[in-house]
Amino acid sequence: MTARAPRIRVQRRPVHGVLLLDKPLGLSSNDALQKVKWLLRAEKAGHTGTLDPLATGVLPLCFGAATKFSGLQLDAPKTYEAIALLGVTTTTGDAEGEVLQRCAVDEAALTSQRLAQVAQQFTGPIRQVPPMHSALKKDGKALYEYARAGVEVERPARDVFISALNLALTHTEQAQAAIKIRVTCSKGTYIRTLGEDIGQALGCGAHLVFLRRVETGGLGLEGCVTLAQLEACDDAQRLAWVQPVQTLLAGHTVITLAEEDAGRFLSGVRRRGPWPDAAAVAVYGEHPRALLGVGHVVQGELIADRLLSPLEIQQILQGAPRAITPV
């Protein structure tokens, strides 16, 4: 019997920052995270909300100190591009499911005016019934588990917000009529359900055959790297793709503290200053320039919400990934 080769233990290291991954088709968000974590040899990692295996596109991956702020991306608006094939409905709302119904498509009726009317119908606050094939849980069990067992359970409608929706007639490679969708929406929006509802509104049914997230919380595809690119990089090039922790804080008001105030703020002590009220502030130390954490200001009082540890700050200053723009 041939002896197994000894397993090589990966030497982990502190990595602090955000890597924008262009997630490939067929890979779960967690599998993508674990793969990149292994490539970077990072000690601590987390993602900012799941992206379906059948979807591609922007998936921010957080490492080290950045994991403290990953929740900010969970609540951020997201933009998707999708294609819904008209005239066919499926059990899952996408191409993975079994066909439920086929219907003739009257392309002449799909004028730009008609599509604009339907887009307006689904713009603003709307209610969605979550699909059975989703990770939403009922009684501690994911809905897709019920669906696989052939059990349909009642799902209460949820309130979501569509801030922008554009629809255009297109065709698949097989010359089948389809709708190209570009949508900016709140968290919790099911694009598969939106595609089905649009198909129903057009009178012919539809299911998604393509889904790509192009932006989340102001982070777009232009800053993304693919797994294939990362795998082809050397170690230094991989680290260059890791953006600073403050990438997640673009919408925060900036406050800079002198040394004494910075030390007290890191200890959780409230500071007073001439600052206007602000719900979200990113707080930096002046010398050396370093992110200390996030907080909020009420009546001139700066109150800490999430803080970096002194060790994390030291590691970042000593050579964790910097604001390098990869070539």
pLDDT at position 141 is: 76
pLDDT at position 132 is: 76
pLDDT at 13 over 90: yes
pLDDT level of residue 194 (50, 70, 90 thresholds): very high
Does residue 128 contact residue 189 with C-beta atoms inside 8 Å?
Answer: yes
Does residue 86 contact residue 66 with C-beta atoms inside 8 Å?
Answer: no
In 3D space, the residue among 129, 131, 127 whose CA is nearest the CA of residue 146 turns out to be 131
pLDDT level of residue 320 (50, 70, 90 thresholds): very low
pLDDT at 74 over 70: yes
Q: In whole angstroms, what is the distance from residue 202 CA to residue 193 CA?
A: 14
**What sign does the CA torsion over 129, 134, 137, 141 have?**
positive
Does residue 213 contact residue 224 with C-beta atoms inside 8 Å?
Answer: no
Does residue 308 contact residue 69 with C-beta atoms inside 8 Å?
Answer: no
The stretch 236-264 carries a mean pLDDT of: 95
Domains in the chain with CATH codes: 17-75+218-240 (3.30.2350.10), 78-216 (3.30.2350.10), 251-317 (2.30.130.10)
- b/e map 185-197, b = 16+ CB within 10 Å: bbeebbbbbbbbb
Chain segment 151-161, per-residue pLDDT in tens = 788 888 899 99
pLDDT at 323 over 90: no
pLDDT at 324 over 90: no
**What sign does the CA torsion over 231, 234, 235, 237 have?**
negative
Residue 108: how many CB atoms within 10 A of its CB? 6
Catalytic residue of the set 22, 52, 94, 261: 52
Pairing of strands 99-102, 88-90: antiparallel
Polymer length of the chain: 327
Residue 154: how many CB atoms within 10 A of its CB? 6
pLDDT at position 54 is: 86
Does residue 36 contact residue 18 with C-beta atoms inside 8 Å?
Answer: no
Report the C-alpha dihedral over residues 85, 98, 32, 9, rounded to 10 degrees.
-160
pLDDT level of residue 170 (50, 70, 90 thresholds): very high
Average per-residue pLDDT for the chain: 91
Active-site residue 52, yes or no? yes
pLDDT level of residue 146 (50, 70, 90 thresholds): confident
Whether pTM > 0.75 for this model: the answer is: yes
Chain segment 259-290, per-residue pLDDT in tens = 999 999 999 999 999 999 999 999 999 989 99
* Percent helix / strand / coil, the chain, rounded to 5: 25, 35, 40
Report the C-alpha dihedral over residues 66, 71, 74, 75, rounded to 10 degrees.
-120
In 3D space, the residue among 283, 202, 273 whose CA is nearest the CA of residue 246 turns out to be 283
pLDDT at position 317 is: 94
Chain segment 113-127, per-residue pLDDT in tens = 999 999 999 999 999
At 305, list the tokens.
Answer: 């919400």
pLDDT at 144 over 80: no
Q: In whole angstroms, what is the distance from residue 67 CA to residue 46 CA?
A: 6
Instruction: Indicate the DSSP class of residue 68.
Output: G
The stretch 292-308 carries a mean pLDDT of: 97
Peptide bond into 288 cis (omega under 30): yes
Chain segment 224-243, per-residue pLDDT in tens = 999 999 999 999 999 999 99
pLDDT level of residue 135 (50, 70, 90 thresholds): low
pLDDT at position 8 is: 60
In 3D space, the residue among 241, 242, 245, 251 whose CA is nearest the CA of residue 291 turns out to be 245
What is the percent of the chain where pLDDT is above 70?
94
For 107, the 3-state DSSP assignment is helix
In 3D space, the residue among 48, 74, 72 whose CA is nearest the CA of residue 60 turns out to be 48
**What sign does the CA torsion over 224, 227, 232, 236 have?**
positive
Q: Identify residue 161 by its one-letter amino acid code.
A: F
pLDDT at 321 over 70: no
